[in-house]
Structure 1
Amino acid sequence: MVYLRIGRIGILSLSVVALSGCLPWLGKEQPKAVSPQVQASAAQAKAAAARVASLAAAAKARANELGQIPVLMYHRIVEKPATVDDLTPKQFRTEMVRLAAEGYVPITAAEYATGRINIPAGKHPVVLTFDDSSPSQLTLDGMGVPKADTAVGILLDVGRRHPGFRPVGTFYVTRDMFGVSTPEEQAQMITWLRNNGFDVGNHTRDHHNLRGRDKKDVLAQVAAGHKLITDLVKEATPVTLALPYGNQPDKADWARKGSSGSVNYDYGGVFLAGYNPAPSPYSKDYNAVGIPRIRSGAKAGDCVRFCSGAWLDWLKANPDKRYTSDGDVKTVAYPKFKAPFMAKRYDKQALAY
């Protein structure tokens, strides 16, 4: 009997040892659960520390994301300019090199209008827009390589030579699309632009002046341009519109939102023709139905005050007026005293230092 009892004890002891191996906590004090209150306090402390770091980074960059942004307007890039809107390839390259040297990083019109400005700290956004879809803006060879002296060819080359200068822009197309006529060729052009980081916007199909037209006609003109693009490449739905000749219809909002036939459009921004820098999309001054652009040109003749040469000089001389990034796309950073200019819809992203 004693033997059997001892045997059972031995078997039981072995079982306990085996069980202990499977359950490491057996015989030890179990860890105490962290209360939700402690977890919440830790999360708050972590968020507070992250905010302090973000404020320090914004102050170091002298961020001003309520500042002004140059939206530059281009047309043809040709060796022999025929109008005041034309530039030579050399003039266009010179302006791109200047932008790179002065810390500008191109963004698309869609990124600007929707408030998705993602550029490094201390840099300044610039929006490059190209009207009328001229072959001088983009011509591709049989292998899909842009011609060197077109706007796109020059942009890509400047980007290669100046790391950090993002070679992108927005092309406002009409039915005369880069000099190609078949739907297949036109789809090729739009697809190439999208695949290479560029943006395609609506300039109406026929480039008719919208001023003085009735609502039905305005909506039909805008919708036709929208359909022109989406029929070619469905995924290329335009986010912005550039008004032909910069002229608004009798009611500005007709150009921003409407429908005609089976086509509906609702744009983040509608661009005018040349005049002055545009407000930050995070500012109270931002007006989605009338975004100003600046015509490219040196400080001469009628460009002495209101073309790109003059305005870039002014922004350089007045850096406190210019948009400067904090490097964080999730925040809108600015000096505290500029708070009255902040649009309320961005309050949750505000970072005032």
Structure 2
Amino acid sequence: MLSSIPLTRIIMLANVLVVTVAVVVLLTLPTPPARPGASGSGGPTRGPSQPPRPSASPTPDPGLPSAELPPPITASPEFARQVKANEAGVVPILMYHRITHRRLASIDRTPAQVRKELERLARDGYVPVTAREFATGRMDVPAGKHPVVLTFDDGHHSHFSLQADGTPAKNSAVGIIYQVARKYPGFRPVATFWVNRYPFGLQERRDQERAVRWLVGRGFEVANHTWSHPYLPGLGKKAIAGQLARVERMLKRLGVPPSETMALPFGAMPRKRSTVQSGKWQGVPYRFRGVFLAGAEPSVSPFARRYDHRSIQRIQSNGKKGECRKWCSQYWLEWLDRHPRERYTADGDPDRISVPRGLRGKIRSDRKQLINAY
């Protein structure tokens, strides 16, 4: 559907590119200094038996848009037809790394580039959801809109810090997201931050706690990206478990719920995939509803037969030069504009999966009772 090249080859090519660039960046650049005072298993559930939606209470800070989800509706087949709902369609999951005014690596983005891309998404009818909401099937965006997942790897200090007045730094990822949400009220201010041992470059526990609680309390997701960002295929089962469990232990101490999602460092999957899906180390368990790769195309719907929660595709945020000619965000967003029927379009109803009648067979068999075909 998306490419004539087999998916396994796409994953291999994209991940090799990302691994190569990321390794060079990590080896040549120093760890950012601390900034004191700154700051599953199985598929998704949907329907009457699903768990409560993750909390995303309106922010108490004046002037900051809320992450509250819209009230649910009941979608009839005729209504689904009117809004052109297709919940078997693909979802762009965008991958960001550092945000810096001067790009030192191809995976870096400037604040202006991030702002421009998010504004494009807002104008095109995309509404952000977190990786957790995607993996658990809770993409309850308004009818006729399209979910997009904004993900930020490595917990870099450019992703989040607070100014003296307690508001997010203007050119941080969170600051930019709020600016776009203020300009485009339908653009929900949420994202997923996958962190290592020093979330957002912070080394003091009180600063880490302040940062992650600020984010989680406003609907953002802070989750697992391993302790020291190693190349997992080079580690044994016990070492991998230690990498993941140490982050879970840290997040628990900081007041964050257990991670339901994780992103593979360098997008590199261990030979035995089960080692990163669930396990235990020194009495600390972990279990993920979604394991995310590093490229190179939109993800299939979490309700689709082809969906595999153990290896979820992402798209690197970038232009169309060099290796990104057909693999990165600008290419794929343009592709989705030209192929709107391939894109996930919501029905606004959390208890139904609305699709054109001809796509009924693309929905997983354990979700057929929820299909609302037109």
- TM-score by length of structure 2 reads 0.79
> How far did residue 178 of structure 1 move?
1.1
Aligned with residue 268 of structure 2, among 209, 225, 247: 247
Distance in 2, Cα, partners of 1:195 & 1:266: 22
Question: Equivalent of 1:71, from 77, 93, 115?
Answer: 93
**Matched residue, 1:112:** 134
Report how many residues are paired. 302
Please list the CA deviations of residues 189-224 of structure 1 after superposition, one character each: whole Å capped at 9, or x if unmatched: 110001111011100111111113221221121111
How far did residue 145 of structure 1 move? Answer: 1.0
CA shift, 1:329, in A, is: 1.2
- Give the letter for the 1:291 counterpart: I
The residue that corresponds to 1:174 in the other structure is: 196
How far, CA to CA, are the matches of 1:144 and 1:287 in structure 2? 40
Larger mean Cα displacement after TM superposition, 161-170 or 223-232:
223-232
Deviation at 1:266, TM superposition (A): 1.2
SS of alignment partner, residue 291 of structure 2: strand
3-state SS of the aligned residue for 1:274? coil
Post-superposition Cα deviations, 1:286-342, rounded to whole Å, max 9, x if no partner, equal 111100110000112221110000000111100111000011111111011111111
The reply on whether 1:222 has 2:247 as its aligned counterpart is: no
**Aligned residue among 315, 326, 330 for 1:294:** 315
Runs in 1 of length 4+ with deviation above 6 angstroms? Answer: none
- Cα deviation, 1:73-95, whole Å, max 9, x if unaligned, reads 00111100111110010000000
Asked whether 1:335 is paired with 2:356, we answer: yes
| 1:139 maps to 2:133 | no
Contact 1:205–1:228 (CA under 8 A) maintained in structure 2: no
Partners of 1:257 and 1:293 in 2: CA distance: 21
Asked if structure 2 preserves the Cα contact closer than 8 Å seen for 1:61 and 1:121, the reply is yes
Q: Give the secondary structure class of the aligned counterpart of 2:319.
A: coil
CA contact (8 A) 2:213 2:254 kept: no
Alignment counterpart, residue 160 of structure 1, candidates 155, 159, 182: 182
Conserved in 2, the CA contact under 8 Å of 1:213 and 1:250?
Answer: no
SS at match of 2:345: coil
The structure 2 residue matched to 1:210, chosen from 224, 232, 236, is 232
The offset of 1:345, in angstroms, is 2.1
Match of 1:346 in 2: 367
State whether residues 267 and 293 of structure 2, in contact with CA within 8 Å, keep that contact through their aligned partners in structure 1.
Answer: yes
State how far apart, in whole Å, the 2-side matches of 1:345 and 1:144 are: 46
Counterpart of 1:310 in structure 2 is: 331
Distance in 2 (alpha carbons) for counterparts of 1:332 and 1:212:
41
Instruction: Write the letter of the residue equivalent to 1:58.
Output: A
Deviation of the 1:347 alpha carbon: 2.1
- Which has more helix, going by share of residues? 1
Give the CA deviation at 1:143.
3.9
Q: Is 1:263 the equivalent of 2:280? A: no
Once residues 216 and 174 of structure 1 are traced to their aligned partners in structure 2, the CA distance between those partners, rounded to angstroms, is: 18
For 2:102, which of 76, 80, 105 is the aligned residue? 80
Identity level (%): 43
Q: In the TM superposition, what is the alpha-carbon distance from 1:349 to its structure 2 partner?
A: 1.6
Q: Which has the larger radius of gyration?
A: 1
Q: 1:129·1:171 contact (CA, 8 Å) conserved in 2?
A: yes
TM-score under structure 1 normalisation?
0.83
